[in-house]
Amino acid sequence: MNSWIRNAARTAAGLAGGVFGMLALAGNGAALAGTGQPSPWQINLQGAASPVMESMHSFHTFLLVIIVAVVLLVLVLLVVVMMRFNEKANPVPSRTTHHTLIEVAWTVVPVLILVAIAIPSFRLLFHQLDLPQADMTVKVTGHQWYWSYEYPDNGGFSFDSLMVATEDLKPGQPRLLAVDNEVVVPVNKIVRIQVTAADVIHSFALPSFGVKIDALPGRLNESWFQATKEGVYYGQCSELCGKDHAFMPIAIRVVSEEEFAGWVEKAKQEFAAADAPARVAQGEPVGESLGVTAR
């Protein structure tokens, strides 16, 4: 065998191996991807903890299958062309220029593939953007560089949520993701989030819930999630918003309904007291003392 044919065969085998490897990884991606936070060597999406994110996982896997099939088909065609129609194997080339059936097929088949992708894609988009009847609302306000949260239908208290500095981390708290005051929500309840910003554009993103929505000053955006498993889920600001953009994480603790009721009672006391004006003198972030919070 010629050395270039050997090389081509080796390359083809390598490509096919890589594609099958990707498929195998997608199959057991849950083992490689953390839920609620990224994990070392993660290759897939974060684990799903809401119905929307579960649909995103299925859609992602569906697309991967289609992509792999297309890549394999193109690979096979290339190999056939290289083997059968090179100068040695086929010294007198055919002069064929048109083949109606093939031309119709290579126009219609891609259209059908795109339609097959578009239908579940739009279905998922509506699932995500069409807000169901909510059990509770949390108002989220992005600031340079922290988030504040308000519980309008649970007593109307509000609090700021700032990242825990690396030297202050407690055991089990992930670096750059843990915050001092976590958002607490009940499990299996539909939570509407109303998102805005006090200064510049931020973006409220929580991978495990399939939520990512811009926080715009002077505008109220809405999204929703239904956390299906108890635990702590982390996200980050996802719109470049200034020098500490990377240091305004989001932490949502999902608890049982009873635990949530207990937390609300505690939070009402704690955050009512913390809202006293004396706070400004204790070195609050600049936006706070200028009165630009959206409360």
- In the complex, the residues that contact Cu ion under the rule CB under 5 A are 202, 237, 241
Comparison of 192 and 202: residue with beta carbon closer to Cu ion: 202
Q: How far is the CB of 195 from Cu ion (least distance, A)?
A: 11
Q: How far is the CB of 143 from Cu ion (least distance, A)?
A: 8
Q: Distance between CA 81 and CA 85 in Å, rounded? A: 5
Comparison of 57 and 202: residue with beta carbon closer to Cu ion: 202
Q: Under 8 Å CB-to-CB from 69, ≥6 apart: which residues?
A: none
Residue ranges in 48-193 assigned as alpha helix (H): 51-84, 100-129
Comparison of 180 and 214: residue with beta carbon closer to Cu ion: 214
Q: How far is the CB of 239 from Cu ion (least distance, A)?
A: 6
Cβ atoms 113, 63 nearer than 8 A:
no
Comparison of 51 and 235: residue with beta carbon closer to Cu ion: 235
Beta bridge partners of 52: none
Q: How far is the CB of 141 from Cu ion (least distance, A)?
A: 11
